[in-house]
Amino acid sequence: MGFTMGLNLLLLMAMVATNILSLYHLSSTLVSSKSPSPIHSPVPDHLLQQLRTIRATINHLTRHQPSSDTASTTGGKPSSSAVPQDLLLYSHLSSIASSCHNHPDLLHKYMSYTPFSICPHDPELQETLILNGCHPLPRRRCFSKTPSKPPSPIPLHPFPTSLPDSGVIWSKYACKSFACLSEKQPGFDLKKQRQTLVTFSSELDLPIPQFIQIAKSANSVIRLGIDIGGGTGTFAAVMKELYNMTVLTTTMNINAPYNEAVALRGLVPLHVPLQQRLPVFDGVLDLVRCGRAVNRWIPLVVMEFMLYDIDRVLRGGGYLWLDRFFSRRVDLEKVYGPMIGKLGYKKVKWAVANKTDSGGLKHEEVYLTALLQKPTSK
């Protein structure tokens, strides 16, 4: 009852504020019409922004306000089509990503759970919401389901002989073991992945030892980094194994338990999509690496936002490493190259080569491997 009255009060205040601003705009228009100048003054930007904010607030409140008809017909209890009560509570305490409202059915399904009990195990629903920009997820008052038998012993080395299957809930995946995944998905073949990161076979390769040598010759210390779209965390594992460096890995559980694999290797997974703001403070990282998950299929606006967010978290003198970014050759020359160039970074390495698989030949695609250094001051 108190929660509904609070929402009504906020709605009333928003409507009153709208009327006041409308009167202000009308009065300013009348005054300006009496002036000899024939040019009509446009609405100030700050006033338009305030009106948009108030309109968005009203839409947000009305969208989450349970109707009196629904409450009366169900005897005070929400119907199956009503907004879940925990979603209403969450929206009162914290903002919900605007993209969540574009998928109300999925959001309502995700938030239809019993508080203080075990959370539904629905990783595919979580991934769909997150990939569509609904992040952070608003489910807060339930207990996450964990494997019934915790792995024992937990691997202490980032390259164990095998990852323990008991560390994963496999019910939602086609494969039911890491052995199955290593055969069907190259990213789970840890030894093969490690080899590709430390050896040189083409101009597109930048072996990790070579990168470390480049940084040392530039008197640049590499201690902290993020690997964007890092899969099972092999890049972070090599950096930890060989150089005792801390690298966080952003990864998604798309058809496989990537986050669990990263964690079982003693590394830190960040379950965030590419369009999400990196959850670290400004100017604190020495390195940001973008793996093959960063490519031309990312919308241009998301790509641009991501590049400037990378610039935000990199310290002066830090490195941006694009590892086999692929796009059409014409797009690299006319779109992505200029977009990257706007950062004003020094090109330490810039290698382009044809993408020789069937899709690459058909669409005239190329790979780009680039190592760029952020200037120490702008």
d(CA 107, CA 104): 5
Tens of pLDDT along the chain (378 residues) come to 555 566 566 666 666 666 665 555 555 544 444 444 444 446 667 666 655 665 555 455 445 444 444 344 444 444 445 778 888 887 777 777 878 888 999 999 999 999 999 999 999 999 999 999 898 888 889 999 999 888 878 888 999 999 999 999 999 999 999 999 999 998 999 999 999 999 999 999 999 999 999 999 999 999 999 999 999 999 999 999 999 999 999 999 999 999 999 999 999 999 999 988 999 999 999 999 999 899 999 999 999 999 999 999 999 999 999 999 999 999 999 999 999 999 999 999 999 999 988 888 888 999 999 999 999 976
The CA R_g of the chain, rounded to the nearest whole Å, is: 26
DSSP string, 280-300: S-TT-EEEEEE-TTSSTTS-H
> What letter would DSSP give residue 244?
-
Closest CA to 283 of 312, 246, 321: 312
Task: Take residue 375 and report the two structure tokens written for it.
Answer: 């200037």
Contact 261, 195 (CB under 8 A): no
Strand 224-228 relative to strand 246-250, pairing: parallel
Structure pTM? 0.77
What is the chain's percent helix, strand, coil content, to nearest 5?
45, 15, 40
Sheet holding 346-354, edge to edge: 269-270, 246-250, 224-228, 285-290, 314-328, 365-373, 346-354
Indicate the DSSP class of residue 332. I
CATH 3.40.50.150 for domain 197-373, yes or no, is yes
Ranges assigned E (strand) in the chain:
224-228, 246-250, 269-270, 285-290, 314-328, 346-354, 365-373
Burial class (CB in 10 A: 0-12, 13-18, 19+), 297: exposed
For the chain, the domains span: 83-145, 197-373
Tell me the C-alpha distance between 311 and 285, whole Å. Answer: 10
Give the β-pairing of 365-373 and 269-270: unpaired
Q: For the stretch 195-204, what's the b/e string if a residue is b when 16 or more beta carbons lie within 10 angstroms of its beta carbon?
A: eebeeeeeeb
Cα 261 to Cα 259: distance, rounded to the nearest angstrom: 5
